[in-house]
A = this chain, B = another copy of it.
């Protein structure tokens, strides 16, 4: 029987742990909130599983736990923020707050961020804007595992994009997705189980399709969304490239193959073309285009229309982006959050090291 833990319990644990390594209380709170939001939403790959990697980066002196996050450039509706090599969510949340405040003043706000690290789920930041009656957009580049179409070079991350759109009586539309057919974590699980993966997820070192989930160790790569050129992988490559460029070039972060690894067991790269990892955030007030009540009524109608699409044979219903995560959040809030045994073990290992009460 699996143990389940309440949101508050896990938050207190995480906050205490990050305070122990030197994070100010308010920063530890943000780290905990973003990681546990991923657990609530049923995305454990971006949740507490990351804690031991984060602590490893701290121990390797590759993260600054007392960052001085600064605005280094701005206009009325844009800004660039230097994350001072903090945990990504510290600067990420500040950057989205800045985008929101600029949108309040001028209709829209766009913030590029350099010198950052892994920021958790992109959806967290997009939803911050939606809570303020704004369309929210968030994206990040990530360590390179994906080859452009027709290439064998691992030059792009799984580069997620999140867009949140507020509705009226319906729940917020939240699309939050990687620009690849599959995430790295899912390949690792398949590999552990000794299973193969369908053609269309990865390629071997020559660029030929492969069904080996472990092929990345042998010079292989994840392919962009679409799978192969015939099925439009160049469009997935475009998506991944757009996310990489917006995350890195305006702010001055590293792009593509130069994005620093987010685990301490991988060495830092020799070449750098910018500072740290990059993100890009946007917020647009819905009433900057039409009265908010009209926008929301129209968005409700969109959601209801798509929810009433005819299901394919064998399917119960058609989902709206954000539905699966919302349903899981409700369940996890009611029933608690369960942790995989390996994650629990890793958390208790660091807890014991830093004098934090173990999770039983």
At the interface, yes or no: A117 with Cβ under 8 Å from chain B? no
Contact A76 B107 (CB under 8 A): yes
Bound together, the chains give a CA A248 to CA B244 distance in angstroms of: 27
Q: A173-B245, A179-B235, A225-B226 are in contact. List 12 more A-B contacts (CB 8 A).
A: A78-B285, A108-B108, A149-B318, A151-B309, A180-B232, A207-B315, A227-B227, A227-B231, A241-B306, A244-B302, A251-B289, A255-B305
Contact with B along A210-238 (1 / 0, CB 8 A): 00000000000000011100111011111
Question: For chain A, which range describes its interface: under 10, 10 to 19, 20 to 34, or 35 or more residues?
Answer: 35 or more
Bound together, the chains give a CA A250 to CA B299 distance in angstroms of: 9
At the interface, yes or no: A273 with Cβ under 8 Å from chain B? yes
Contact with B along A156-179 (1 / 0, CB 8 A): 000000010100000001010111
Contact B306 A148 (CB under 8 A): yes
Task: Name, among A175, A179, A235, A244, the residue most crowded by chain B CB atoms within 10 Å (CB to CB).
Answer: A235
Cβ distance A29 to chain B, nearest Cβ, rounded Å: 29
Bound together, the chains give a CA A78 to CA B73 distance in angstroms of: 21
Residue contacts A-B, CB under 8 angstroms, 28 given: A73-B289, A75-B288, A76-B77, A79-B289, A147-B309, A148-B306, A150-B312, A150-B318, A151-B311, A153-B310, A155-B305, A163-B242, A173-B245, A177-B234, A178-B235, A180-B232, A200-B227, A225-B226, A225-B232, A234-B321, A244-B302, A245-B299, A245-B302, A249-B298, A250-B289, A251-B289, A252-B290, A274-B298
A residues in contact (CB < 8 Å) with B = 73-80, 105-108, 110, 112, 135, 147-153, 155, 163, 165, 173, 175, 177-182, 198, 200-201, 203, 206-208, 225-227, 230-232, 234-239, 241-242, 244-246, 248-252, 255-257, 273-274, 284-286, 288-290, 294-295, 298-299, 301-302, 305-306, 309-315, 317-319, 321
